[in-house]
């Protein structure tokens, strides 16, 4: 699975969603969200809201290819990057709530993949010319959060109990994850854009390790939060196919 245009990305994601839906595999949750984000990015390209539409289409493909490589490696029995391995393993346990599933995917793809692709694709001074489109890409993801929250609430009737910890906690968790990861990804890109090629791979290993640690924070909650999460999970829908379909319909 390798994309060269945003159209390819949508086609590959559609295939992953169809496969995970038929197998009732919760790995399809993130794929569904990702396809919706990609549709909005494509709409933005068509509308001319990016500084360079063709550049964004190519970048979107390069960005997605890291997820596709991780997914294909994992589902074929191989070992992807540590942050993706952790995310996929935890999702497959069936013990996480929908919100955690999505946050793990966002973490691995933004905290690792986005910074790596941006920093290696736009080297040196070329990076500054991509900053506006980089920010707009992440604004699109953030704009979908209220609609994603609505889907989560549809299948997770107790998710609102997280508000005992913070007002509007589900949306805040998604929004903070996106915003914090975006800012970290730009810092990573800035570093990698000036890193000599021989040191890029070791640097990416370190970044991957950090992203895995963030994933642990998302998935392995301490008490009393862990008890609340289990309580929420007990009431969540087990209709994986319906959840995937709903997440793939927010745009």
pLDDT by residue (tens digit) across 12-34? 999 999 999 999 999 999 999 99
User: Per residue in 73-100, pLDDT tens?
Assistant: 999 999 999 999 999 999 999 999 999 9
pTM beyond 0.85, yes or no: yes
Q: Using alpha carbons only, what angle is made at residue 160 by residues 148 and 166, rounded to the nearest 5 degrees? A: 100
The Cβ of residue 220 has, within 10 Å, a number of other Cβ atoms equal to 11
Lookup: tokens for 131: 């900053």
pLDDT score for 170? 55
What is the predicted pLDDT for the residue at 166?
A: 52
d(CA 3, CA 18): 18
> Largest alpha-carbon pair distance within the chain?
51
Is residue 174 predicted with pLDDT exceeding 80? no
């Amino acid at each position: 699975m390798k994309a060269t245009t945003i159209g390819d990305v949508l086609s590959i994601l559609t295939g992953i969603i169809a496969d995970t839906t038929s197998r009732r595999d919760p790995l399809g949750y993130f794929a569904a969200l990702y396809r919706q984000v990609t549709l909005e990015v494509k709409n933005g390209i068509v509308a001319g809201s990016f500084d360079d539409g063709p550049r964004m289409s190519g970048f979107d493909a390069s960005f997605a290819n890291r997820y596709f490589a991780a997914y294909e490696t994992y589902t074929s029995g191989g070992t992807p990057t540590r942050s993706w391995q952790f995310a996929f393993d935890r999702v497959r346990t069936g013990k996480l709530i929908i919100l955690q599933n999505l946050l793990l995917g966002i973490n691995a793809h933004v905290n690792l993949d986005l910074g790596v692709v941006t920093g290696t694709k736009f080297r040196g001074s070329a990076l500054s010319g991509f900053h506006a489109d980089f920010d707009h890409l992440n604004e699109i993801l953030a704009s979908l959060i209220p609609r994603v929250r609505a889907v989560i609430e549809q299948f997770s009737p107790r998710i609102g109990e997280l508000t005992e910890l913070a007002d509007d906690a589900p949306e805040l968790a998604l929004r903070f994850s996106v915003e914090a990861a975006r800012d970290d990804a730009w810092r990573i890109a800035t570093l990698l854009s000036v890193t000599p090629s021989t040191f890029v791979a070791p640097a990416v290993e370190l970044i991957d390790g950090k992203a895995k640690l963030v994933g642990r924070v998302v998935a392995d909650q301490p008490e009393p939060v862990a008890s609340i999460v289990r309580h929420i999970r007990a009431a969540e829908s087990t209709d994986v196919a319906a959840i995937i379909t709903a997440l793939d319909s927010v745009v």
